[in-house]
Amino acid sequence: MKEVEEFARFKAPKYLACYTDVLRHYLFQIDRLDLADELIDLNILLEFGVSQQTQISLLALGLSRTSAIETSELISADSLNETHCLQWLQENELETLDLPEIVKREIGIVLSRIVPKD
């Protein structure tokens, strides 16, 4: 099991990052910037153990992996950036969300750090 974890967390992301870099370079060479912009950083997804850009953005805001995954299940879009995730968190009433209390508490803490109070 240790070998599987080491491969999944370290070797696979490293090799996927190399592959993505080579592919991105090739796409620039053949002037397919449209495709280069759509490449997904699989290495980041593997490293953090998530499967959507929205989850990465929630992690970047400061949520734990578990809270990011739980919260992302309530967000219909799976490719939100940090700004849009923050906007979603601010626009939705924490008390009404179908989330465990510990996740709601964590979201509240993150929001209090990011959003200045008037």
Q: What is the pLDDT along the chain (118 residues), one digit of tens a residue?
A: 888 878 877 788 889 889 999 999 999 999 999 998 888 777 777 777 788 999 999 999 999 999 999 999 999 999 899 999 999 999 999 889 999 999 999 999 999 998 766 5
Q: What is the pLDDT of residue 117?
A: 64
Nearest to 82 by CA among 96, 97, 68, 102: 68
Q: What is the pLDDT of residue 118?
A: 58
Joined together, the tokens standing for residue 75 give 């967000």
Q: What is the pTM of this model?
A: 0.73
CA distance 7 to 3: 6
Q: What is the pLDDT of residue 14?
A: 87
Q: What is the pLDDT of residue 109?
A: 94
Q: What is the pLDDT of residue 115?
A: 72
CA distance 75 to 92: 10
Looking up tokens 């008037």, which residue turns up?
118
